Chain A
C-alpha cells in the first residue's frame, strides 16, 4: 500500500481513468437506447424494461461509474488519506463493469436475469462501500464532508439492496414487501440520498478549491445536513405510511435544506480570490441552480397533489442536476489526471502543455449549450407528449454524449 515515509496519497491513475472511460461510453449507449424507447416515453410509460435498461445504464454505467472513478481520485485529495487498497479497486471495477453490462442486457432481453446481474452488481457496490469506509476511517480529522459522504455511501447501499429486492420480485413473481413502496424508496435514496448528498459533500471542497475561496464559515453545513437528511427521513416515512401531508413536509424540508446549501455556496463564492471562474466549474454551479428549482417544483407539486408529473421531474433531476454536475467536474478532473500521468515527470525538462491546453474550452461551451437545449427539448417533449420533438431533442443528447466521449478520450492523445 503506502510506505510510511511517503506523504503523497496519489491514486494510480489507471483506476479512476478506467471508471471514467467506461462511463462515457455507457452514456452514449444509454442515450441511444432511450431514443428507441421514444414512443413509450412520450406516453409517460417509464416503467417498461427497455426504459429501465437505458436508465440503469445511464445511472449505473455512466453516472455512478464516473462518480466512483472521481472518488478514487478525489477522496485522497479531499480527505487527506490514501485509498485503502488499490488492487481491490481494480477488482471492484471489473465486477461492477460486468454487473452493469449484464444488468442492461438482462433488462433488454430477459427480465428474470436482472436478479442475477443484480447480485453481481451488489457485490461490486459492497466492495466499493467497503473500500470507501476503510479509506474514510483513516481520515486524520473528520469533518462535515466526511458526514455527508458517509451518509451518501449508506444511502447507496440501501438503494442497491432495494434494487436487489425489486429484481427479486420480477424473478420470483412474489413480493418481499410492497413493490411501489420499495421502488419509491429506491429512487429517493438513490437520487436525493446517494447522489445529492455526495455532490453536496464534495462541493464543499470543490467550490473553495476551484474558486480559491478562504475564510468562510462551515457552520451552515450542519443545518444543511440536518434539514436535508431530515427531509429524506420524513419522505421515507410518508411512503411507509402512504401519508400525502408527510410527503409534502418531506419535500418542503428537502427544498429548505437545498436552499440553505445554495445560499451557503454563494457565501463561499463571495470569499473567492479567483474572479473569473472556469467554464466547466460554472456548469457545476449552474447545476446547483437547476436542482434548487427542481426542489421547489417538487415541493409545489406535492402541495397541489400532482404526483403524475414526478416521472418527468425525476428525469430532469437526473440530467439537469446529477449528470450536469458530474460533467462539469469531469471536464476538470480528466485533464488533471492525464496531465499528471503524462507530464508530471517532464515538467522543467521539456515544453509541456498547460492544463488549459489539454482540453478545448470552446468545444466545452458549445457542448454545454447542446446539452441544455437537448435537455429542455426532451423534457418539453415528454410534458406535451410530442414524439417528433422527442426524437430531435434526444438526437441532440446523443450528439452531446458523443462529443463528451470524444472530448474526454481526446485528452488521452495530448
Chain B
C-alpha cells in the first residue's frame, strides 16, 4: 500500500499514516511519501515497535517503508 502525503498540512501526514497502519495486517508494509522527513512519526513508530526505512527521492521528498511488526 502506498500513501502520498505530499502537500498536506501537518499533522495530516502523520494522522493519515497512523490511521492506515491501524488497518494494515501484521507483517504487511506501508510506503508513505512525505514532503519532509517525518520526525515525530519515527517517534511514534518506535513506540509502536514498527520497523521502517527512509529513502530520499530526487525531487527532495522522502519515501518511508513501514513494516507492521
Bound together, the chains give a CA A340 to CA B40 distance in angstroms of 11
Once the chains bind, are B42 and A8 in contact (CB under 8 Å)?
no
| B25 at interface by CB-CB < 8 Å | no
B12: min CB distance to chain A, Å: 8
CB neighbours of B7 from chain A (8 A): 7
User: Which residues 51-69 in B have Cβ within 8 Å of A in the complex?
Assistant: 53-56, 59-61
A-B contact count (CB 8 A): 57
Across the interface, A6 reaches (CB within 8 A) one of B11, B14, B53, B59, namely B59
Once the chains bind, are A7 and B15 in contact (CB under 8 Å)?
no
Contact with B along A321-349 (1 / 0, CB 8 A): 00000000000000010011000110110
| A205 at interface by CB-CB < 8 Å | yes
Once the chains bind, are A7 and B6 in contact (CB under 8 Å)?
yes
Partner-binding segment picked from A113-121, A167-175, A206-214, A251-259:
A206-214
User: Which residues 1-49 in A have Cβ within 8 Å of B in the complex?
Assistant: 5-10
Once the chains bind, are A356 and B43 in contact (CB under 8 Å)?
yes
CB neighbours of B43 from chain A (8 A): 354-356
Bound together, the chains give a CA A70 to CA B39 distance in angstroms of 17
The count of chain A contact residues (Cβ–Cβ below 8 Å) is: 28
- For B14, give the chain A residue with the smallest CB separation: A212
| B27 at interface by CB-CB < 8 Å | no
Once the chains bind, are B61 and A208 in contact (CB under 8 Å)?
no
CB neighbours of B11 from chain A (8 A): 208-209, 212-214
* Interface size classification for chain B: 20 to 34
Bound together, the chains give a CA A7 to CA B8 distance in angstroms of 11
Once the chains bind, are B15 and A8 in contact (CB under 8 Å)?
no
CB neighbours of B15 from chain A (8 A): 212, 214, 273
- For A5, give the chain B residue with the smallest CB separation: B59
Known: A209-B11, A354-B46, A355-B43. Contact between A340 and B59, CB under 8 A? no
| A80 at interface by CB-CB < 8 Å | yes
Once the chains bind, are A8 and B39 in contact (CB under 8 Å)?
no
Contact with B along A232-254 (1 / 0, CB 8 A): 00000000000000000000000
CB neighbours of A80 from chain B (8 A): 9
- For A276, give the chain B residue with the smallest CB separation: B47
| A77 at interface by CB-CB < 8 Å | yes
Once the chains bind, are A348 and B18 in contact (CB under 8 Å)?
no
Once the chains bind, are B18 and A8 in contact (CB under 8 Å)?
no
User: Which residues 297-315 in A have Cβ within 8 Å of B in the complex?
Assistant: none
Bound together, the chains give a CA A31 to CA B42 distance in angstroms of 37
Known: A214-B15, A348-B55, A355-B43. Contact between A8 and B36, CB under 8 A? yes
- For A74, give the chain B residue with the smallest CB separation: B10
A357: min CB distance to chain B, Å: 10
Once the chains bind, are B46 and A212 in contact (CB under 8 Å)?
no
Bound together, the chains give a CA A205 to CA B12 distance in angstroms of 11
- For B7, give the chain A residue with the smallest CB separation: A7
Residue of B11, B12, B43, B56 most packed against chain A (CB within 10 A): B11
B59: min CB distance to chain A, Å: 6
- 7 cross-chain pairs, A with B, having the tightest CB-CB distances, nearest first: A209-B11, A8-B60, A347-B54, A6-B60, A348-B54, A214-B15, A348-B53
- Contact residues of B with A, CB < 8 Å? 6-7, 9-12, 14-15, 18, 35-37, 39-40, 42-44, 46, 53-56, 59-61
- Contact residues of A with B, CB < 8 Å? 5-10, 77-78, 80, 205, 208-210, 212-214, 273-274, 336, 339-340, 344-345, 347-348, 354-356
Given contacts A210-B40, A212-B18, A339-B39, 9 further A-B contacts (CB under 8 A): A8-B35, A9-B35, A10-B36, A77-B10, A209-B11, A273-B15, A347-B37, A348-B55, A354-B46
A to B CB contacts below 8 Å, 10 in the list: A5-B59, A7-B61, A8-B35, A10-B36, A77-B10, A77-B36, A78-B10, A212-B18, A273-B18, A354-B42
